Structure 1
Amino acid sequence: MKSTFDLMRLWAMLTGLALAVWYFGELWLGAKATETLPMLIAAIGGFELFHYAQDILIKRGRTNG
């Protein structure tokens, strides 16, 4: 079973992807994109990158046996 934190990371990923699709959709349709949208995407991406790197470091620190 996934922890609450893992589910929060899943929702963050889905939200970031949805915002990115929205942003590039605005650009493709020629609408004026807001300044807030790229900042939200970058913040969520930074959240995910930090925790991905943290997972790698935790897995590297484990010893077998």
Structure 2
Amino acid sequence: MKSTFDLMRLWAMLTGLVLAGWYFGELYFGAKPTDTLPMLIAAIGGFELFHCAQDILIKRGRTNG
């Protein structure tokens, strides 16, 4: 069973992918993207990178695997 936090990370990943697709779609079709959109994508990406690194450190600190 996944925890609520794991599900929140899943939704953050999906939201980040949708926002990135939206951003590149705007660039492809020649629309001017808002200034907020890249900041949202970077914030969600930073959230995921932080927790990925945290997971690696937690797994590394375990002595019995």
TM over 0.5: yes
Partner residue in 2 for 1:18: 18
Deviation at 1:60, TM superposition (A): 0.1
Deviation at 1:64, TM superposition (A): 1.6
Deviation at 1:46, TM superposition (A): 0.1
1:1-44: CA deviation from partner (whole Å, max 9, x where unpaired): 00000000000000000000000000000000100000000000
Tell me how far apart the structure 2 counterparts of residues 57 and 6 of structure 1 sit (CA, whole Å). 17
Partner residue in 2 for 1:53: 53
Tell me how far apart the structure 1 counterparts of residues 10 and 22 of structure 2 sit (CA, whole Å). 18
Partner residue in 2 for 1:63: 63
Partner residue in 2 for 1:30: 30
Q: Unmatched 5+ residue regions in structure 1?
A: none
Does the residue aligned with 1:30 lie in a helix, a strand or coil?
A: coil
> Residue 64 of structure 1 aligns to which amino acid in structure 2?
N
Q: TM-score, normalised by structure 2?
A: 0.98
Q: Count matched residues.
A: 65
Superposition misfits of 4+ residues, deviation over 6 angstroms: none
Tell me how far apart the structure 2 counterparts of residues 10 and 64 of structure 1 sit (CA, whole Å). 27
Tell me how far apart the structure 2 counterparts of residues 16 and 44 of structure 1 sit (CA, whole Å). 6
